[in-house]
Structure 1
Amino acid sequence: MLTKLLGAVALAASLTLSGAAYAQSNPMVGGAAMFADKNIVENAVNSKDHTTLVAAVTAAGLVDTLQSAGPFTVFAPVNRAFAALPAGTVDTLLMPENKAQLVKILTAHVLPGKYTAEDLMMRADENPGGFLIKTVSGDNLQFTKLGGVLYVVDENGNAARITISDVNQSNGVIHVVNKVLLPK
């Protein structure tokens, strides 16, 4: 009887630890669990820190694209990043007549392919002056490592810090950033 009880306790502990390891493999974002078996949109809608981004993706008509097979690497600005734009910018971009501009801005946050933080850091180590990757919009993002921290720099010289990296998705990866990246 004691052997069965100890076996049950060991099994329960094992399941708890493996569940914790799974949860640790994908960070929480905006107070929500992110699941590697869900796509970019399915996860983003659960983050309370990305409600503006989700609204923008919807207004731009990019939901189907970001639910497709990909893979994509998305640099996802938090609500505070959108709020830091000049007053009225987000409201103006969400207007139907500005859809093309909104699409351009949002796709400037997306790389074709999956780039983990390790991939980007390794390339930054190989290229101390930074390196460029072309976005889905056709613009370039520069990646630079300063003091062990990876920054994403848009074509206007605005630098965004990656605050949460490697949020794995079924169709790519999300890296949370603290600034909106703007194409020229």
Structure 2
Amino acid sequence: MEPKKIITRLMMGVVLLTACTKDKVQPENIYAKTGIAAVVNSNFSLSLCRYALVTTHYDDTLSKPGPYTLLGPSNDAFTAAGWSSGAALIRATDSIRAMMPYHFIRGAIKLDSLPMAFNQPLTAGNGQPLYVTHWVNSRDTAIVVNGVRVSTFDKPATNGLVNITDGVLYPIVYNDVQQAVSGDPALSMFNAAIIQSGLAADYNTGGPYTVFAPVNAAFNAIGVMTVDSVYKMDVSKLQKIVKAHIATGRNFIYDYILKADVTANTYQEHMLSGAISTFTLVPDPLRQGRFAGITLQTASGASVSISRKNILAGNGVVHSISGLLNN
């Protein structure tokens, strides 16, 4: 659809959605008046989500009887992802079209009624799994999807439920965690370490795994300057390096925030090498009492930061980190 036509359609909004004849009200029009698409239209914090739905025609889907459960990114979430206006979303229609069916579930699922558990799988509109955590500790009650916090949940519509998320959800594009590592040029040395160690087949299958992948600069810091240098390293040493950065289970960064000791604000994770890594919570400067992420501690006590987080693969999650944990 041409941008001009999309904008015209957006401006007409609910007027178009609720149009009907005096003699007969069509079922689709009933749902359009008070359904999910109309709830999105009337919520200012979802105005960019509205553009995303209209430009990809999923507003039509969410105006039907359903039921559906929408996970709608807030305006701030779209802005943080690089789409700060309706025009930007329209220009990125192809990317947004692939993304939006990952933001709704077929069926009315009350997230606040799910069991208290980490990363419960639900099926998104594109057929891929979403992982929902519902957890309570002494300082927080949280609903988190793929590591993204849900700020408003279970808002009713006649054809389902509307939730507002603090981040954009990205469909799975990697079959396994090793493929996710290989897909990031900044992780080429760690990818070489996985391959040269002979462990790649292990991480192509099995799992789930949580990978804390050191960026290339982390290898440079210990004098390993090129991928070729990694391939010349001792296999047993590489196996120790790789296993020191991988844990069993599928853990997003917010999972560690929820699991951490509420007094010490730390959490200890057992890695496949047998080593124990200590994670420390990082306070959120904008929200008192909340936490924005974690740092990790090396064997020497140095602090390692997360540079990229929550890259979801078919058998786990990959996070990029600034240093080697066993250094």
> How would you bin the TM-score normalised by the shorter chain?
0.7 to 0.9
**C-alpha separation in 2, matches of 1:46 and 1:63:** 14
Cα offset, 1:89, TM superposition: 9.9
CA distance in 1, matches of 2:54, 2:203: 41
Q: How does 1:31-180 map to 2 (within 5 A)?
A: 35-36=172-173, 38-86=175-223, 94-95=231-232, 98-124=234-260, 126-147=262-283, 148=291, 149-180=293-324
Pair 99,72 (structure 1): closer, same or farther in 2 beyond 3 Å: same
In the alignment, what sits opposite 1:29? none
TM-score, normalised via structure 2 length:
0.46
Equivalents in 2 of 1:87, 1:111: separation in Å?
24
Q: Which moved more, 1:56-65 or 1:127-136?
A: 127-136
C-alpha displacement at 1:63, in angstroms?
Answer: 0.6
Structure 1 window deviating more from structure 2 (110-119 vs 12-21): it is 12-21
SS at match of 2:319: strand
Does 84-93 or 174-183 show the bigger shift? 84-93
Unpaired segments ≥5 residues, structure 2: 1-8, 10-15, 17-52, 60-92, 104-167, 284-290
Q: Mean alpha-carbon deviation: is it higher for 37-46 or for 133-142? A: 37-46
Q: CA deviation at 1:91?
A: 6.6
1:76-129 CA-to-partner distances (Å, cap 9, x unmatched) read 111112112236798766436x21111111100000111111110112352525
Q: 2:173 & 2:224 partners in 1: Cα distance?
A: 35
Alpha carbons of 1:89 and 1:141: their partners in 2 closer, same or farther (altered >3 Å)?
farther
Q: Does 71-80 or 13-22 show the bigger shift?
A: 13-22
Conservation of the 8 A alpha-carbon contact between 1:93 and 1:101: no
SS across alignment from 2:247: strand
Question: What is the SS of the residue equivalent to 1:137?
Answer: coil
Return the alpha-carbon distance in structure 2 between the equivalents of residues 120 and 88 of structure 1.
32
Write the deviation string for residues 114-173 of structure 1: whole angstroms up to 9, x where unpaired. 111111011235252522111001000001013344111133213211122111111111
Moved over 6 A (4+): 88-92
Give the unaligned 5+ runs of structure 1: 1-5, 27-33
- Do 2:244 and 2:274's aligned partners in 1 also have CA atoms closer than 8 Å? yes
Q: Give the letter for the 1:157 counterpart.
A: G
Q: Deviations over 1:18-71 (max 9, x none)?
A: 524459423xxxxxxx83552112222221111111111111011101111201
Q: In structure 1, what is the equivalent of residue 134 of structure 2?
A: none
* Larger-gyration structure (1/2): 2
Partner residue of 1:31? none
TM-score by length of 1: 0.77
Q: State the Cα deviation string for residues 6-27 of structure 1 (Å, max 9, x = none).
A: 79x957443944524459423x
Q: 1:88 to 1:177 in 2, by over 3 A?
A: closer
